[in-house]
Chains A and B, each alone.
Chain A
Amino acid sequence: MAVKIMIPTPLRQYVGKQDQVEVEAKTVAEALSKLASEYTELRRHLYNQEGKLRSFVNVYLGDEDIRFLQKEQTPVNDNDVLSIVPSIAGGATE
């Protein structure tokens, strides 16, 4: 399935400045894995040491958070749009 992955600004430097990348995949896991394999510098921003998706990385299929679908096993179809949405958080105290 041809899936479009929308790349947030901080990560565009690792994908040749593109704001979207198209990959062939059947699931979210496969799509992200292919993206990280093609653009290896992305890997440390997407995955932790154990190879799991970092908690700071939100992934949306259309308008749906994959956490509330089938997580990374969520199937994808032709022309689906995945968005990598960086978690934006912070706060005054240490």
Chain B
Amino acid sequence: MALRIKAEHRDLINRHGARDYPSECCGVLLGTADGELKHVVEVVALRNLRHDPRRAQELLPVADPVGETERNRFLLDPLDQLRVEKDARARRLEVLGYYHSHPDHPARPSVYDCEHAWPWYSYVIVSVERGTAKDLTCWVLAEDGGTFNPEPVEGVE
């Protein structure tokens, strides 16, 4: 599997990461999938629900609400996901995966990222160091579910 993504989409993700720093940003990748290739057609920035700890704790509690905040955790609002999915379906697009940022952390999935991942989705991570987007990587859950494998990213202009 590989993810084909345009430079403009990468820019959008990088800018979102920089804008939301030092919080984690998140969003969805929409497009089409054929066999081994996922083509990103659109990138949609979404809210990090960890900014609303009361609601976030109702949906997916964190073990340490003081140490785990929007600065090192993200959570999508399922209502946003429903809305995006409905809109995508109407335009014959699919949810290919999601992106999020790692403020002052490398663009590598954490154990927490891995524990919360779903199969097949592409997980794009952008590292944002002191407010500047640095590396963008992509990952997909391994068949056995225990680890993430890097997913090749094909950049197109």
A50 within 8 A of B: no
Per-residue interface assignment for chain B, residues 103 to 127, with 1 indicating a CB less than 8 Å from any chain A CB and 0 otherwise: 1110001111100111111010000
Q: Are B112 and A55 in contact (CB under 8 A)?
A: no
Complex interface residues of chain B between 21 and 70 (CB less than 8 A to chain A): 24, 26, 58-60, 68
Other-chain contact of B78, A9, A87, A93, A94 (Cβ < 8 Å): A87
B149 within 8 A of A: no
Say which size band chain A's interface belongs to: 20 to 34
Residues of B within 8 A of A19 (CB): 89
Say which size band chain B's interface belongs to: 35 or more
Q: Are A89 and B116 in contact (CB under 8 A)?
A: yes
A85 within 8 A of B: yes
> How far does the alpha carbon of A91 sit from the alpha carbon of B110 in the complex, in Å?
7
> How far does the alpha carbon of A91 sit from the alpha carbon of B112 in the complex, in Å?
6
> How far does the alpha carbon of A58 sit from the alpha carbon of B80 in the complex, in Å?
12
Residues of A within 8 A of B137 (CB): none
Q: Are B73 and A90 in contact (CB under 8 A)?
A: yes
Identity of the chain B residue whose Cβ is nearest the Cβ of A93 in the assembled complex:
B72
Q: Are B76 and A89 in contact (CB under 8 A)?
A: yes
* Most A-side CB within 10 Å, residue of B59, B85, B113, B118: B118
Identity of the chain A residue whose Cβ is nearest the Cβ of B33 in the assembled complex:
A9
> How far does the alpha carbon of A94 sit from the alpha carbon of B24 in the complex, in Å?
14
Per-residue interface assignment for chain A, residues 57 to 94, with 1 indicating a CB less than 8 Å from any chain B CB and 0 otherwise: 01010010101000000000000000101111111111
Q: Are B120 and A92 in contact (CB under 8 A)?
A: no
> How far does the alpha carbon of A9 sit from the alpha carbon of B120 in the complex, in Å?
8
**Nearest 8 pairs between A and B by C-beta?**
A91-B73, A92-B105, A92-B102, A90-B113, A10-B118, A88-B76, A58-B78, A85-B78
Besides the contacts A88-B118, A93-B112, what 5 more A-B pairs have beta carbons closer than 8 Å? Answer: A9-B95, A60-B78, A85-B85, A92-B103, A92-B104
